[in-house]
Every structure is written in C-alpha cells, then in structure tokens.
Structure 1
Amino acid sequence: MRVAFLVGHFPRLSETFVLNQITGLLDRGHDVDIYTEHIEGWTKVHPDVEKYRLWERTFLIHSVPQNYIWRVLRGLWLTLIHFRQAPWLILRSLNVFAYGTQAASLWLLYSAISLAEKQASYDIIHCQFGTQGYRGATFKRLLKPMPKLLVMFRGHDISRYVKEGGDKVYQALFKDVDYCLANCDFFRQRVIDLGWNAEKISVHFSGIDIKKFKFKPRSLSPGESIKIATVGRLEEKKGIEYAIRAVAKQIEKTPSLAYYIIGDGSLKASLHALICSLGMDSNIHLLGWKNEAEIIQVLDDCHVFIAPSVTASDGNQDAPINVLKEAMAMGLPVISTCHGGIPELVEDGVSGYLVPERDVYALAEKLEYMLAHPERWPDMGEAGRKFVERHFDLQNLNDLLVVRYKQILSQDHWKNEKKLLSQKGTASFSKKSPLRSAYFEK
C-alpha cells in the first residue's frame, strides 16, 4: 500500500507515536510519504529518522496566506516553479466548475503544489490529527483514483481545538472522511458526540516498543533514598506544578526523597522559581530534555513514577500518555490523575493510583501511602507491565493498523471490528475554526 501521513510538525521528538507508525509500515513493506506544515530540522532527531532516512520521504505542505491578494501572488509564483512537475494536478485544482469555492479560493491550488514534488498516488491518506483533516480532504479530492481518507484524533484536536472552534468545527470535514480512529475511548466518544457515526470509528492506541523497556520489580533496600520521576513537557497540561507541591509536602517527612523531572518547555523558569520558593532545590531536580536512552537510565534507578496531567485552561487534554506506558513497562508503580484517557491505562489500586486533577493534597496523600508500603510495589509493577503488554504493544498495533487500512479499502471494515480486535488481543471500545474557514473561503 501507498500511504500519505499528514502531520503538523515533523520530525518532532515528542511525537514518537507518529514515527513508530511510519517505521512500522516501512518495516512491513509499505510505502509511506510524510507531508508536514513545519519541518523542524534534521539535526536533533530520533535515531529512527536517520536510520530510515525519513528526510527523503518528507514534503512541505505550503500554507495558504490569509490575505487573498498575497495568496494569488504567492500562488502564481509557486505555480511557475512547480507547474512542470505536475501540470494536470495543478490545472485540476483550478477547476471551479468541479470544485467551486475550494478552487476559487486557491485552497486546492496550494494543496496541488504541495503534492507536485512527489507526484504520487496513494491508497490511504492518514491525517495524524483531526486538525490536518481539511487538508487531507483536499488531497483526497485532487488525487485520482480517489484514495481513502482516515483521520486520527489524538488530544488537542478533539479537546482544545473543539473548545476554540465549537461543536460544529468538524461537521463539514466528516462528509469527506471514510473512517476515524481515536487513541483512547475518551476521545472516541468525543468524536461521536460531534456527530460522527459510531460504527466508523475505533480506538487505536499509541503503542510502545516494549522490548526497549526492561522490566524490574521495584524494592527499597535498607537506608536507600527513594527516587521519584516525571517525564513530560513543561506545559500546563502536564500538571507538574501540582506534583512539585505534593512532593515538597512529602519531603518534609522524608528529607532524603529525590524527585527528577525530565522535560523542557515554556514553564521551565516558573517551575524552577516554584522549587526555589519552596526551598526544595536540593531535592527536586529539573533535568531538561533527555533522549530515550537517557530517560530509560533515569527511570531504571527510580521507585515511583508520577504523571499529574490536568485539563489546561484552553481545554487541552491528554490520552493515555506514552511516558506513563513506558514507566509501567519498566515495573514502576505510578500515581496519575483522573484525566482524559489516563484511566484507560492506569488501573486504580492495581498498577497505581488515580487522584483528581490539580489536587495537591490527594497527590501527597497517595504518595505518602505509596512510600509507606513498598511491599506493594512489585505487584503493582507487574500488573502495569502485563497491562501494557496486552494493550499497547507496538508490533501488535502496527499489524492491526495494516489490517485496518485493508478493511477501509475494502469498505467493509466496520463489520468485522470486534472479530479483528479479539484476534489481535487489543482493546477497543466500540466560533469558527481558522482551518475550516480557509477550506471554504470564497
């Protein structure tokens, strides 16, 4: 199969779930091209980007200027550059009789120019976020024979974006979509609530390569200092402020406790100031961003993992986050929040504990209980490892993705959904947008 992935940014270190699907499809003999609005550079990248030479498969999606005069002038310049590469594709994009306002607004022209360099046809157009769906719809209309359009909802696209654009933000897009995926049941239900057919959307979890994360039962030796870790971007949605405050309360009772926070982001300065104001700079450490091997090394030496995600003020929410899966795969008991899709990953009281969002006292209480009962750590760690193996194994999920593609192409994919998932052993649960306005602009 030939597959086009549409993403907002590539390659992005924090979006290994996209990279894992790309390399998984390539390993299975399929052809994948990546179309992105922003190429973030090729110097600091995941090793798989270099291994698979993904820069050779990556193409820039040309943005559509808001100012119509500038849009016409830039479109003319880009047409002169690319016309010889794909003349019929560019001419088709200007056919106002076939495509109406989409052609007249030059929205289709910019999509055609984005496709011109590769001059490829595709079986599947896979939009990795709902926010890429409108561009995916134009790709679908331009390419002959018409490929199938698959849209996957992952987080901000079905939380923050919907809050900003309103409940009808995807209504027009749904007319062009063939099938949808969501990375947790929490977001799947959100898509259904927006008017999508429940029979044409499935949960497809983001997987991890479990072999990379060696399991180790956690225990506490006499006199050993307890070490706690968090991994995530230093942004509001990750809720790290609340974990810092909760850990600080515990440090007052356990002075040797060490808390390691791996990640970088816009809140780095304010979180550092908070740590200093609490007098915890000798116990709570902001380690900055680390690569995968460095993260594994830190987690291997820790006893407990905290993932304190919250709903951000702009509505942004998390699915079951990969760093939490990785920590559980390594045998770490976890403390997280009743947030987004996280309860679909952490079994409260089994592999760890769940507390309400932004509740410092509840976090501190569960942390104190966890540290007072190290005898529970091995059982919690084993339960977490088994759950991740059963539901989030990357190889199984990539196999399942290929089968989903084939079923979408055969147009009878939803009929065999339950049978398919039982065979794979993978869980399933059956104001105005700027992108939307550009798509329909006259």
Structure 2
Amino acid sequence: MQDETLVPTPGTAAPAGTARIGYVLKMYPRFSETFIVSEILAREAAGEQIVIFSLRPPTDARFHPELARVQAPVVHVGRASSPRRLWETWGETMARPALAAGMAEHLDELVAAGVDDAEQALAVARLALEHGVTHLHAHFASVATTVARLAGLVSGLPYSFTAHAKDIFHQDVDPEDLRRKLRDAHHAITISEYNLRHLRGCFGSEDTARLHLVRNGLELERFPYHRRGSTAERMPRGGPVRLIAVGRLVEKKGFDQLIDAVAALRHDGHDVRADIIGDGPLRADLEARIQQRDMGEHVRLWGPRTQEEVRAQLAEADLFVAPFVIAGDGNADGLPTVLLEAMACGIPCVAADVTAVGEVVIDGKTGWLVPAGDTAALTAAIAEAIGPATDTTQRTDAARALVEAHYDSRLQAAALRELAGAPAGRNPR
C-alpha cells in the first residue's frame, strides 16, 4: 500500500455562496453501481456542483462509458500504511483551526470508530474544506455514511445518506449505529416505499423524522420504448424464445432457480434459452448446475457487460426474468436498476416479489410477479408470458408509463436538490 493518505484529483473550490455537494462513496467508480452515476449526471445536468470522495480504489476491470460524462473531480482518499502516516493525518487536521474544535469536541467518537474510518473522516473533512463543499452525501448506510457522519461532526458540515438494501436488511446491520446515523443526518433518503415502511417500523417516528423517499432515476432518453406484441408476432419464423437476466452472480439474484425453470420449460416442450449477464462468486456453482441439468446449450453465462451492451441485449430479448430470493444472511435486492431499464425499454418482465419489486412489477398490470423462491410459479409465469397468444402490449405500455411517472432522473435530481437546501428536518414536499 502506498505511504500516502490522500491521492486527490485536483479540483477548484466553489465560488463563495455556491453550493457544492461532496459525494462520499466507498468505491468509485464501481461497475455494478450505475444508479450512482445516473444520479450524479442528473444533478450536474440540473446545474449542481459535485465533488466525489472515493474511500477505496476501484477494482473493476471494466467501466461504463457514461463515466466520461461526469464532470465532478474525483478525490481518492487513501488509508495510512504506517503508524507514522496515520499520526501525521491527525496532526495535519488539528493544524486547521476550522477543524481543530470539531476534532476536540468529538474526540470520543473518533477514538471509538475504526482506525480507517476515523482517519478517512479526518481526510474528508479537510478535503471538503479545500474543495468548497457545503454538504456531504453518502450512498449506503454503512462505511460511506460512517465516514460522512464523522467528517460532518469534525467540519461542521451537514451530511445526508441514501439507504438501499444490504445496508439495512443484512444480518450484520447494527441497529444502534443506523439509528444514530438517521438521527444525526440533515436528512436521510431511501429508494422505495417498502424501505420507508421497514425503517419506520424498526426505528419509529422520532428517529425517522428526517427520512424521505426519493426513488432512483433513469435517463429515459437512453432507454427508448419498443412495443413488442405477442411472441408469435415477434418471432414469425420460430426459433428459441430468449430469456435474459442481469446481475451479480450472488445468492439473492436467484439465478439457480432460473436454470431450473429453463430445464422445466424445455422438458414441457418450450423452446427457450436463457442468457445471464454478470459475474460474481457463484459463477462456478451456477456453471456446475447448468451441467447437472444438461442445459449447457440453453443457459449461457455471459460475464459482465457495460450498460450499453446490456441495453443492446435487452433489445434482442423476448422476456426479462428477475428470480430474486432473500439470501440466507438476510440480504435482498432493493430495486435493481436493470429491472427499471428493462421496463422502460418495453421488454416484458417476470420478477419475484422481494422487498420493493412489487412496487414496479404489478402482477397482471406491468408484468408477472411471483412468490420469491417458488420455482414452479416462476416457470408457470414464464410459460404464460412467452405463450404464442399472449399479447404483452398492455403490460409493457403500463410499465413504461410507471417508469416515466416515478423514475425519471430529472425528478430525482430536483428532489435531492430541494432536500439538501431545506432546513434540517423539514420535508420540502
């Protein structure tokens, strides 16, 4: 590890009186977190100034082309490789009069925090002042929010955060830590009605008084709608019906059930194949399952693809399948961006009803919703959706309308800007 705590990308301070949002992210860029890039692009398009603080170096080998459009400077916040460098970080921060008082007042919290979290919080506090940041915002209520909160205490800057899924559902979530973050934030955001109800039920009205719903957004012009019609109309010459699934190869995605569903469908005479896009720790297990089911010619694991490549594959697919499950450790998907992208494009969707998925995939109206973990129900829904007489038009029209009404990134950017500019605790809506 390098013997430098900070590896900043040069940035310019905002003019006096200008708001600048400092995004505190565990890792940036991250291949699987396209929703963060879309959010930043939407806020920049609306005229906001942003600087990004990345707490870990990126590890992905591929990146989405949309990253090139982000104007925000990226500041990589390193971690000390020696006790001497760690001590220098504390000393450098204490030497700033604007930060010394905050350090002294909250020394107990800094000492109680993890070494890396405390060090990076001091670094972010110092860098935020250098870059003219007026508000800190973190994604995920875990390490990034821990650092943002501590940096806010030291610098006197308000902080906010967005809670998603693993950071609130996983068995390792510390309820008291999350309660403290909710209570101390200028405001907190979560991305679905399901999450909002869950957090209010866990913590009550006093701790969630500053919690607001702001849905993730899409740049809709990048996902033009294409009406498909019935399977017979789409495929007049026959050939396999193409199912597509996208996501990390982890338990909560339920891809093992999709493999089993394809085997059952083919056994029943349906000519289908499934393409699974993504990578992850369960790749070998899924490959073994494909071979065990003798599905090597009918289920393919494509590995990771960029957002543009996924969009091109969505355009060629007949059905999007999202067989989500709740993992053994409690981890569950919140509302995957790729599901919204599929709905926006006009591809019919079959999905399992974990967490907030039922807010967008409304059974019989915008798609097919099945019980999570029920492979037979998943298989039956796919069979119905790809049936030659099934006209998907009404459902896909309604799905596109729902995405336009609630998941437009311009609406998201406006809501985030209003929240950041409102007095703490006031709901601007």
TM range (shorter): 0.7 to 0.9
**SS of residue matched to 2:131:** coil
CA offset at residue 58 of structure 1?
2.5
Question: Residue 166 and residue 403 in structure 1: after superposition, are their counterparts in 2 closer, same or farther (change >3 A)?
Answer: closer
Residue aligning to 2:86: 75
Residue aligning to 1:208: 218
Residue identity opposite 1:222 in structure 2: P
- The answer to whether residue 268 in structure 2 is matched with residue 256 in structure 1 is no
Q: Check conservation: 1:10, 1:38, Cα contact below 8 A.
A: yes
| Bigger mean CA offset, 20-29 vs 206-215 | 20-29
| Bigger mean CA offset, 214-223 vs 273-282 | 214-223
CA offset at residue 372 of structure 1?
2.0
| Bigger mean CA offset, 319-328 vs 220-229 | 220-229
Residue identity opposite 2:131 in structure 1: A
Residue aligning to 1:116: 126
**SS of residue matched to 1:130:** coil
Q: Check conservation: 2:167, 2:173, Cα contact below 8 A.
A: no
1:57 to 74, 98, 119: 74
Q: Check conservation: 2:89, 2:119, Cα contact below 8 A.
A: no
Match runs of 1:215-364 below 5 Å: 215-218=225-228, 219-220=230-231, 221-225=235-239, 226-254=241-269, 256-364=271-379
Match runs of 1:105-254 below 5 Å: 108=118, 110-117=120-127, 119-131=130-142, 132-143=144-155, 146-160=156-170, 163-197=171-205, 198-218=208-228, 219-220=230-231, 221-225=235-239, 226-254=241-269
Question: Residue 289 and residue 155 in structure 1: after superposition, are their counterparts in 2 closer, same or farther (change >3 A)?
Answer: same
Residue aligning to 1:438: none
Consecutive aligned runs of 4 or more in structure 1 exceeding 4 Å deviation: 103-110
Aligned-CA RMSD value: 2.5
Q: Check conservation: 2:54, 2:74, Cα contact below 8 A.
A: no
- The answer to whether residue 426 in structure 2 is matched with residue 413 in structure 1 is yes
Unpaired runs of at least 5, structure 1 = 418-442
**SS of residue matched to 1:217:** coil
| Bigger mean CA offset, 191-200 vs 386-395 | 191-200
Give, in whole Å, the separation in 2 of the partners of 1:142 and 1:293. Answer: 41
Q: Check conservation: 2:93, 2:99, Cα contact below 8 A.
A: yes
TM-score (norm. length: structure 2): 0.86
Residue identity opposite 1:202 in structure 2: H
Instruction: Name the % identity.
Output: 22
Unpaired runs of at least 5, structure 2 = 1-18
Q: Check conservation: 1:75, 1:110, Cα contact below 8 A.
A: no
Residue identity opposite 1:87 in structure 2: R
Give, in whole Å, the separation in 1 of the partners of 2:339 and 2:60. Answer: 27
Q: Check conservation: 2:187, 2:419, Cα contact below 8 A.
A: no
CA offset at residue 37 of structure 1?
2.0
TM-score (norm. length: structure 1): 0.83
Give, in whole Å, the separation in 1 of the partners of 2:418 and 2:120. Answer: 32
Give, in whole Å, the separation in 2 of the partners of 1:363 and 1:309. Answer: 10
Give, in whole Å, the separation in 2 of the partners of 1:83 and 1:189. Answer: 40
CA offset at residue 252 of structure 1?
1.9
**SS of residue matched to 1:208:** coil
Residue aligning to 1:99: 106
Residue identity opposite 2:202 in structure 1: L
Q: Check conservation: 1:94, 1:109, Cα contact below 8 A.
A: no
**SS of residue matched to 1:157:** helix
1:30-80 per-residue CA deviation (whole Å, 9 max, x = no partner) reads: 2212222212058632223223355x32331648x9xxxx7x544214457
| Bigger mean CA offset, 15-24 vs 248-257 | 248-257
CA offset at residue 158 of structure 1?
0.6
Residue aligning to 1:436: none
Question: Residue 148 and residue 310 in structure 1: after superposition, are their counterparts in 2 closer, same or farther (change >3 A)?
Answer: same
Give, in whole Å, the separation in 1 of the partners of 2:71 and 2:338. Answer: 25
CA offset at residue 130 of structure 1?
0.9
Residue aligning to 2:58: 40
**SS of residue matched to 2:331:** coil
**SS of residue matched to 1:8:** strand
CA offset at residue 299 of structure 1?
1.1
